[in-house]
Copies of this chain bind each other. A is one copy, B any other.
Amino acid sequence: MSARALRVAIAGLGTVGGGTLAVLTRNAEVIARRAGRPVQVVAIADLDTERVKASLPAGSTIEVYSDAMAMLAQAKPDVVVELIGGTGFAQALMKAAIDQKVHVVTANKALLAKHGNELFAQAQAQGVTIRYEAAVAGGIPIIKALREGLTANRIESVVGIINGTTNFILSTMRDKGQAFAEVLAEAQRLGYAEADPTFDVEGHDAGHKLSLMAAIAFGMPVRFDQVSLEGITALQATDITYAEKLGYRIKLLGIARRREHGVELRVHPTLVPARHLLANVEGAMNAVLVTGDAVGQTLYTGKGAGAEPTASAVIADLVDLARASSAASALEVPALAFQAESLEALPVLPMADAVGGHYLRLRVKDQPGVLADITRQLADHHISIDAFIQQEPAAGSGQTDVVLITHPCEERALRLASGRLAQLPSVLAEPVSLRVEFLA
């Protein structure tokens, strides 16, 4: 263990940065025994240098900078851990690190989703790596599983609960029967949701992570710009209840699926069979279900966020670098799993081409022949029904709900059929539809 330490500079000592420093300090011995040499934080950059200095133990030799660029130039790190977030300064810092042939470890999914293709190419040209295990699903080593653990497979799909905030909200809506807005307010009060929750509840964050996983699963560039995004803000408690009665739970899923002529990339609330393990991943947990042609279904679950779970992933990347016996060996695993020159620009299919089951809720007049009208419309669009329930009408209302689950069909067909259903005289309101994944 006399080998030179891996010199680590941390840019941004917020939640994850603080967790990284804490775990590297607490577990220094066990980490060095695994890595073959110490993994040592030599410098920290943060705008609030006073807070950082106050948090370090007396006698600490860690250099503290207010300017991450100055740290990069002066601290001579082997690797910069970028935990600033966002796509502005973080991107400039990453480029500067790469230019100076310094490796980068990051948790910044937004930056990689938007600019990963250029950054990965730039890093490869400079002979350094950008590692990003922490960018997806917290401490679950899903990037490693996809890039290295499942390399035998033609990956068919990656389906994930990859945003803890929305999963917590959905779990609570179900458990307490509350409306979205009410649960969101409570989650904000408890600190489980941001003051501006748009990024989470509209599916952007899940879309960032999905675009990275799809790239490494299928050997394609990162295509966040082509992910179809639909959040949970419009989800109604009544549909959670009906889904439950039909044997399903509603989760915000990120879905990447290989199809014959391209790939589906989509994030939306989805009904999944209640008995599937994925349906039982509750609260702030994350889970990723990967289907490969050889391995079949494998599922990975754990905490998707938080200081130390994310630090666990950051440090795994650092240990990989510490173990590398040469400059070349740090580059052995391609950034996007496939050799850069062999990435394929697979077409991303429009949502209308997506294939899956559908949940339809129809407010109808309580009169004979309604169900026949509905089923005929669906049959005319070659959509068959897997299950349905018809609610007893409230006394004297003359109205009721018909709720059904279709067998898989193209979304195009479902939209056409739904449009026709809306025009039936017996259908009293715009049909509500949600997507279903059978996960078989």
Give the interface of A toward B (CB within 8 A).
Answer: 1, 19, 23-24, 26-27, 30-31, 33-36, 133, 138-141, 144-145, 148-154, 219, 275, 277, 280-281, 292-303, 308-309, 311-316, 319-320, 323-326, 328-329, 331-334, 337-339, 342
Contact = CB atoms under 8 A, between A and B. Distances in A.
19 contacts: A1-B339, A23-B152, A23-B153, A30-B153, A34-B151, A34-B219, A34-B339, A140-B298, A141-B144, A144-B144, A151-B315, A151-B316, A280-B280, A294-B308, A295-B309, A325-B326, A325-B328, A326-B329, A329-B329
Contacts of A294: 19, 23, 27, 139, 308-309, 311-312, 315
- For the complex of A and B, list the 9 residue pairs with the smallest distance between their C-beta atoms, beginning with the closest: A141-B149, A152-B315, A298-B302, A139-B295, A329-B329, A295-B312, A151-B319, A33-B342, A294-B308
A27 B153 contact: yes
A27 B30 CA distance: 38
A133 B328 CA distance: 24
B298 A300 contact: yes
Contact of A298 (B27, B293, B301): B301
B34 A334 contact: yes
A345 to B, nearest CB: 14
Contacts of A277: 277, 280-281, 301
Given A281-B277, A323-B333, A151 B301 contact: no
Given A281-B277, A324-B329, A326-B325, A296 B302 contact: yes
Contacts of A331: 325
B323 A332 contact: yes
B141 A150 contact: yes
Contacts of A35: 151
Contacts of A133: 149
Contacts of A33: 219, 338-339, 342
Nearest to A306: B296
A137 to B, nearest CB: 10
A299 B304 CA distance: 12
Contacts of A326: 325-326, 328-329
B308 A36 contact: no
Contact of A145 (B145, B152, B281, B328): B145
A230 to B, nearest CB: 27
A294 B316 CA distance: 11
Contacts of A138: 295
Given A139-B295, A294-B27, A342-B1, A319 B152 contact: yes
A418 B133 CA distance: 49
Nearest to A36: B339
Nearest to A332: B323
A296 B139 contact: yes
Contacts of A308: 293-296
A439 to B, nearest CB: 13
Contact of A30 (B140, B154, B311, B333): B154
A342 to B, nearest CB: 4
A309 B34 CA distance: 28
B302 A148 contact: no
A152 B31 CA distance: 6
Nearest to A22: B294
A332 B3 CA distance: 14
A407 to B, nearest CB: 25
A316 B152 contact: yes
B325 A332 contact: yes
Contacts of A27: 152-154, 293-294
A152 B313 CA distance: 8
